[in-house]
Structure 1
């Protein structure tokens, strides 16, 4: 019997790790005769259908693609946390989608634009609910578990700390203002771009305002009125854990996900650790670059933002002794935010080797990966957050590149220290420098690590696994 499966994710046109995966999974499912797949997402960014005068509604964008248009939810509801628990306007449109599609299984990947109430609405109808945990929205409104001092956080074990964190973020984040800005950007792009140029005209070289790259040392004080925020966060955490335990199955994309969820009350028997697939897994790239001991190329591929830790990679590289920088290079590929890149330049450009030994190449497309990775000897993924299973792991390994990564999140599931790469102490520049120096000193390690790179699961194989769980 053919099963109807509804995937819940983010806007499939967006380029990003989880969305790249869910889009590929959806496309793979459309080829299978054993299931009939549909996709639902909620608008929350600049959207042609968003309007001051339109109500939240369900939009059929394609035969099997539905969207909740004019959503009342944002990507992060700091000042309206109740919307993460229950969002009446969006929840009603979700129920309309259920009425139309009549799914047997709902597989939730992203919660952006949705409330946890969708789990309960589906269960009331007897629908099987599976949730893959790709990030920590369920524990942290900020999703990445980085605290207000920009350090890795262990989760909501201290609700007072969470209250300070959300207070700090919501003080500079207002949902009404964000909605207005999005609509103005859509309707009057020329005016907004003119404003941005004027705003940045006083910065160095007319560029963006440089972002601060340091850890903060904030001492946030709670006031009497903040008890309401604390209670809201307590309710949110209780509601998210209850919703997770109401699911039929939770898929943790790494062991760290399972361990973390269990610490906060998610039932162990609900969680299956299953690594996700990757498009590149079916077509691994043949790495042909020979190792040249006098020109070791350290590479980075991925988004260039604070949470990805590229500034720490630059700092660690520049701390290498002169003789090791002389026989190595750092090549960085990926789209950057202007403020972050300006911050890196301000902090490091005075170093003589910043321009000589470090190259920022900018945005790339997947088609470019074979050429890019064949210029590198090793990939460094210096995340400052507990990335659960970033696609850059699969891209690096499928390209024949060993990896240097922090001992946090999902990295240890894939990178085995001294076997197919090296692990370093999370957010520790000196530890990262030490591991890079080890590779430059002993390039013979690269060939040893390459031989132990694991096979990367394809989207097709992952789809087979999931279909068996849907039955």
Structure 2
């Protein structure tokens, strides 16, 4: 390697201070870069995590050599996040972020910046800048295009919608502030064609290139424990228990005479409602939050993974976790799932309850179909979504972008890294 590249990752959440798959992917990217000999500096906001979870500290995680993490914390706590949310810039931590990003980085990569700095943080630093949309925050104050907390968004009613979520409106969204800050970014990317299309549909004016995610080759295999013993084949749901995840549409299909069980791995605000819906259904089991070691065991034993999301997902990492274990998915035909399953042939789509029943019956009773889907899922993962494949895509994109910006030395190092 000619020289190691220096990356800065700016993200609101970073493990263990996180809630979803986007932060886990950012960590996988950081670790993958470090394994190839590059240096990574992470800036994230611990106040944002504690705003949701309170003062309890999560179980610490170790970072490998080459990864330096700055977890920002203020005595103002939630008020620091509120100031960023309202002003659209890092009011409390701005000077510290600027001090870090003024270092000699080759690439500054922004991820979910909603509470770590808002649009204003895009103006910090002078390196090649990439922004990856892991959600729809650039065009939606609630991030998920789920209007009034009850339906897909088709037309803008942002003020009314924000109030329905009990969130204060963001004045900076009304003018050109976001566009002026975005002009400092060299390239916008996202993880699926669906997400790019939603950004265009809702008026984001900058081009957005798709760079699909990957799954780390060294995901932590820790914290296993006892799991239930299956009495029947089981279908698996993995994720946060929120209304938008659509599990309420799956539970009624499982009853005492069902040939399979539904196992639900996850926790969230909607869990009490789901448990009430499942009362008296012995074939529905709630497993709670599971660490990665247990999740891998759950995937391996599942007949199929069910993904009934009602909102527009971007690219759930659960798909890749299932595919790595050769487990097909049954997904609602919405968001990225049509494109993922069209390219992989690793699962089945549904739109109606009848189609969901049919897909479950096929996956449970037709061994030949299930084996074909399983093989397709595993093969697609090995070809497209391993760490090696994902990092090569990433470096190829940096090479292309650096060439376009006339940064030929950076392009040369990135080109060398593609085949590393």
Show CA shifts across 1:266-314 (max 9, x none).
Answer: 456x32211111125999xxxxxxxxxx954322223333222222221
Which residue of 89, 94, 98 corresponds with 1:91? 94
Which residue of 186, 190, 197 corresponds with 1:252? 190
Aligned mates of 1:11, 1:402 — CA distance in 2: 29
Give the direction of change, closer, same or farther, for the CA distance of 1:347–1:424 in structure 2 (3 Å limit). Answer: same
Asked whether the 8 Å contact 1:105–1:128 carries over to 2, the reply is: yes
Asked whether the 8 Å contact 1:129–1:247 carries over to 2, the reply is: yes
Which residue of 32, 37, 40 corresponds with 1:28? 32
Give the direction of change, closer, same or farther, for the CA distance of 1:364–1:149 in structure 2 (3 Å limit). Answer: closer
Matches within 5 A, 1:21-100: 21-33=25-37, 35-43=38-46, 44-46=48-50, 64-70=68-74, 81-83=85-87, 85-99=88-102
Answer yes or no: is 1:144 the counterpart of 2:149.
Answer: no
Partner of 1:287: none
User: What displacement does 1:2 show?
Assistant: 3.8
Answer yes or no: is 1:419 the counterpart of 2:345.
Answer: yes
Which residue of 210, 229, 238 corresponds with 1:301? 238
Give the direction of change, closer, same or farther, for the CA distance of 1:282–1:97 in structure 2 (3 Å limit). Answer: closer
SS, match of residue 130 in structure 2: strand
SS, match of residue 250 in structure 2: helix
Asked whether the 8 Å contact 1:317–1:433 carries over to 2, the reply is: no
Give the direction of change, closer, same or farther, for the CA distance of 1:26–1:63 in structure 2 (3 Å limit). Answer: closer
Asked whether the 8 Å contact 1:45–1:74 carries over to 2, the reply is: no
Partner of 2:262: 330
Aligned mates of 1:71, 1:255 — CA distance in 2: 41
Aligned mates of 1:7, 1:253 — CA distance in 2: 17
Q: How does the TM-score come out when normalised to structure 1?
A: 0.69
Answer yes or no: is 1:317 the counterpart of 2:319.
Answer: no
Which residue of 173, 177, 185 corresponds with 1:239? 177
Partner of 1:211: none
Which residue of 276, 298, 323 corresponds with 1:397? 323
Q: Which protein, 1 or 2, shows the higher relative CO under an 8 Å CA cutoff with sep ≥ 6?
A: 1
Asked whether the 8 Å contact 1:91–1:114 carries over to 2, the reply is: yes
Answer yes or no: is 1:451 the counterpart of 2:389.
Answer: no
Aligned mates of 1:245, 1:315 — CA distance in 2: 49
User: What displacement does 1:417 show?
Assistant: 9.4
User: What displacement does 1:168 show?
Assistant: 1.8
Matches within 5 A, 1:85-164: 85-99=88-102, 101-111=103-113, 112-122=115-125, 126-154=126-154, 157-158=155-156, 161-164=157-160
Which residue of 260, 272, 279 corresponds with 1:349? 279
Number of equivalent positions: 367
Asked whether the 8 Å contact 1:73–1:114 carries over to 2, the reply is: no
Aligned mates of 1:143, 1:341 — CA distance in 2: 21
Aligned mates of 1:82, 1:97 — CA distance in 2: 23
Q: How does the TM-score come out when normalised to structure 2?
A: 0.77
SS, match of residue 165 in structure 2: helix
User: What displacement does 1:231 show?
Assistant: 5.9
User: What displacement does 1:24 show?
Assistant: 1.9
Give the direction of change, closer, same or farther, for the CA distance of 1:280–1:249 in structure 2 (3 Å limit). Answer: same
Q: Which runs of 5+ in 1 are unaligned?
A: 52-61, 175-228, 284-293
Matches within 5 A, 1:338-377: 340-350=270-280, 354-355=281-282, 357-377=283-303
User: What displacement does 1:329 show?
Assistant: 2.1
User: What displacement does 1:76 show?
Assistant: 11
Aligned mates of 1:21, 1:2 — CA distance in 2: 21
Answer yes or no: is 1:166 the counterpart of 2:162.
Answer: yes
Asked whether the 8 Å contact 1:6–1:37 carries over to 2, the reply is: yes
Answer yes or no: is 1:12 the counterpart of 2:18.
Answer: no
Asked whether the 8 Å contact 1:138–1:241 carries over to 2, the reply is: no
Show CA shifts across 1:303-335 (max 9, x none).
Answer: 3332222222212435xxx8xx43222222x23
Partner of 2:201: 263
